[in-house]
Chain A
Amino acid sequence: MTDEAHAQAAEVAVARETRLTRLEEDVKKLKPKGKDGWDMLQALTPLLAGILLAFVSYFLTGSVNNAIQRGQLQLSNVKEMRELLAQLDTADAAAADSAAFTLSAFGRPAVPPLMAALLAGGDVRMPAAERSLRAIGLNDPAAVCEPIRRVIDNRTGRFSWLAHLSTIRLLGDLECRDARASLEAYSRALSLVKAPADIEQFASRVERDPGSPFDFSAVEQLQTETARTLRIIRP
């Protein structure tokens, strides 16, 4: 073989080598890559959607069922409490006490009607309602403290001074510490009444009831009870 033939053969070999290298690179490029996060998400989407739907349906159904059951329970409570609440006003003191005791077993749902009974007054009804609220509040102070605090904060003269007296006593008995600011403001206003002539300054806060007049004796009772409650709830 001549030198020329050798050179041609070498050229052909290099060209083949180059072509082979290019082909290998193309083959490498054509090889499938590994799946990334997006691909996985795309693959899992139907499954996730199913799980999410099941989860939401479970909770929606649960809360709807709970709401229905809560409504049924409230209705049942009203039915069961109606007779007992009527007894507070019509029965004798012993039976009213029994009714109040039973009402306190209803707990938080009994607070609104008992508040109404307390605010409506009555020589038998009011003490019984107070006892019942005290019993509920000893187990669940938050349920009772907030509505009774609103009575002493009220400036419309809607509630009798006896209702004020009763709620101030309850605030102390139940150690309603959140009512401290309200009670201190109440005490300051009350302390301005130093003589019967000053009563008008405070009288606009309480209901004007000629049957239970707001006189100086009433002021002194409120002052005594407020001082006692403040002693209890002040740190």
Chain B
Amino acid sequence: MNPHNLSRVRPALLAAIALLSVAAPAEAQLVPCAGIQGTGYKILLDDIFDAAGGTASPLMSSLVFKLTTNLEQLQLESGLPLKVIRCAKRRPSDPADFKRPMVEQLNARQVVLEVWGTTAQATDTAGSPVHEATVGYLLVPVRFDEFTQGQPSGAFLSSKQAKSVTSVEDLVRVVDQSGELAAYVAVSTGVKLLRARDYEAARAQLCRADALLTKVSSGQTPATRDKALISYVQALAADVVAQARKDPAYTGTLKSPLVSAGGCR
């Protein structure tokens, strides 16, 4: 085709494609998160916003600080570098927004967890006004495994009710009601350490995750999702020992017959 003719046709062609591309509006807003280039394990904190107003909570910066403080104990126990990173204007709408190419990128950049949420006015069973919060969690290495192994679910939503969402403490309760955040971080870092063949650190994190998940659901029947996650963690902890024993390059304590082959117990 003559280049001149092509240049005449091209704008029309591009306009048609652009029109087709925007024909299906997407609710999710997954903008790039600048902070993920840094070193160490990262927890991404996306917008937690009012579903009606659409604006992000003004307390987000304070929430980053509070969550970092809450994770200090886990950081001290594990000795792993953990950082909470605020991702402004990043608003996933559904776990399905996290498709394999993006999860692959996040996983490679040492992102272990991503959290996002929406709040909406509602009424409880007694008719009192409450805030219905929907919080989403993406356990990046677990989600990455999900694409190859099919289970367990590495991205999910959790609904919670809060009387108020006007203080940082309220938001912390919404995001990390019973210490889930530390448990999920322990699961994800355990999986990442196992994939990097750092067996001892992986086992320690997975066993910590097992304990934290069991604690989170203590006094109540674990949800099906948590049950699946606990089973996955226990199976991986056992897998760590099996892999370590088979690995000729590894010469650490997990090769000792005194270590239980059953994982954490």
Q: Bound pair: A and B?
A: yes
Interface: B54 (CB within 8 A): no
Q: Provide the bound-state CA to CA distance between A97 and B38, in Å.
A: 25
Interface: A192 (CB within 8 A): no
Instruction: Assess whether A127 is in contact with B197, with CB atoms less than 8 Å apart.
Output: no
A123 with B7, Cβ < 8 A, contacts A196-B197, A210-B39 known? no
Instruction: Assess whether B18 is in contact with A102, with CB atoms less than 8 Å apart.
Output: yes
Within A117-141, the residues touching B (CB, 8 Å) are 121-127, 130-131
Chain B contacts of A212 at CB under 8 A? 108-110
Interface: A93 (CB within 8 A): yes
Closest to B97 in A: A93
Interface: A234 (CB within 8 A): no
**B 104-126 binary contact with A (CB < 8 Å = 1; else 0):** 11101110000000000000000
Interface: B62 (CB within 8 A): no
Q: Provide the bound-state CA to CA distance between A122 and B38, in Å.
A: 12
Q: Provide the bound-state CA to CA distance between A73 and B106, in Å.
A: 38
Chain B contacts of A220 at CB under 8 A? 195
Chain B contacts of A126 at CB under 8 A? 101, 105
**B9–chain A nearest beta-carbon distance, Å:** 11
Chain A contacts of B18 at CB under 8 A? 98, 102
Instruction: Assess whether A196 is in contact with B249, with CB atoms less than 8 Å apart.
Output: yes
Q: Provide the bound-state CA to CA distance between A216 and B28, in Å.
A: 33
Interface: A157 (CB within 8 A): no
Q: Provide the bound-state CA to CA distance between A211 and B81, in Å.
A: 12
Instruction: Assess whether B196 is in contact with A196, with CB atoms less than 8 Å apart.
Output: yes
Closest to A74 in B: B3
Interface: B59 (CB within 8 A): no
**B 15-35 binary contact with A (CB < 8 Å = 1; else 0):** 001100110001011111100
Pick the contact of A123: B17, B29, B36 (CB < 8 A): B36
Interface: A5 (CB within 8 A): no
**A218–chain B nearest beta-carbon distance, Å:** 7
Interface: B37 (CB within 8 A): yes
Pick the contact of B29: A72, A76, A92, A121 (CB < 8 A): A92
Closest to B31 in A: A92
Instruction: Assess whether B249 is in contact with A195, with CB atoms less than 8 Å apart.
Output: yes
Chain B contacts of A101 at CB under 8 A? 17, 21
Interface: A66 (CB within 8 A): yes
**B4–chain A nearest beta-carbon distance, Å:** 5
Instruction: Assess whether A211 is in contact with B39, with CB atoms less than 8 Å apart.
Output: yes
Q: Provide the bound-state CA to CA distance between A80 and B11, in Å.
A: 9
Within B173-226, the residues touching A (CB, 8 Å) are 192, 195-198
Interface: A105 (CB within 8 A): yes
Interface: A197 (CB within 8 A): yes
**B198–chain A nearest beta-carbon distance, Å:** 8
Pick the contact of A195: B3, B6, B247 (CB < 8 A): B247
Q: Provide the bound-state CA to CA distance between A210 and B38, in Å.
A: 7
Chain B contacts of A213 at CB under 8 A? 110
Closest to A198 in B: B249
Chain A contacts of B197 at CB under 8 A? 195-196, 216
Closest to A209 in B: B37
Instruction: Assess whether A76 is in contact with B7, with CB atoms less than 8 Å apart.
Output: yes
Interface: A150 (CB within 8 A): no
**B100–chain A nearest beta-carbon distance, Å:** 9
Interface: B228 (CB within 8 A): no
Instruction: Assess whether A90 is in contact with B249, with CB atoms less than 8 Å apart.
Output: no
Interface: B14 (CB within 8 A): yes
Q: Provide the bound-state CA to CA distance between A66 and B248, in Å.
A: 65
Interface: B102 (CB within 8 A): yes
Chain B contacts of A70 at CB under 8 A? 3
Instruction: Assess whether B196 is in contact with A94, with CB atoms less than 8 Å apart.
Output: no
Closest to B148 in A: A224
Chain B contacts of A73 at CB under 8 A? 3, 6-7
Q: Provide the bound-state CA to CA distance between A174 and B256, in Å.
A: 48
Interface: B13 (CB within 8 A): yes
**A60–chain B nearest beta-carbon distance, Å:** 18
Query: Which 8 pairs, one residue from A and one from B, show the smallest C-beta to C-beta distance?
Result: A127-B101, A195-B249, A98-B21, A94-B26, A217-B195, A93-B30, A123-B105, A210-B39
9 interchain pairs (CB within 8 A)?
A92-B26, A93-B102, A94-B29, A101-B17, A105-B13, A126-B105, A130-B101, A211-B36, A213-B110
20 more A-B residue pairs beyond the given contacts A123-B106, A161-B108, A215-B195, with a C-beta to C-beta distance below 8 A: A69-B4, A69-B7, A73-B7, A76-B10, A80-B10, A80-B11, A80-B14, A89-B32, A92-B29, A92-B31, A94-B30, A97-B21, A98-B18, A101-B17, A123-B36, A127-B105, A195-B249, A211-B38, A211-B109, A220-B195
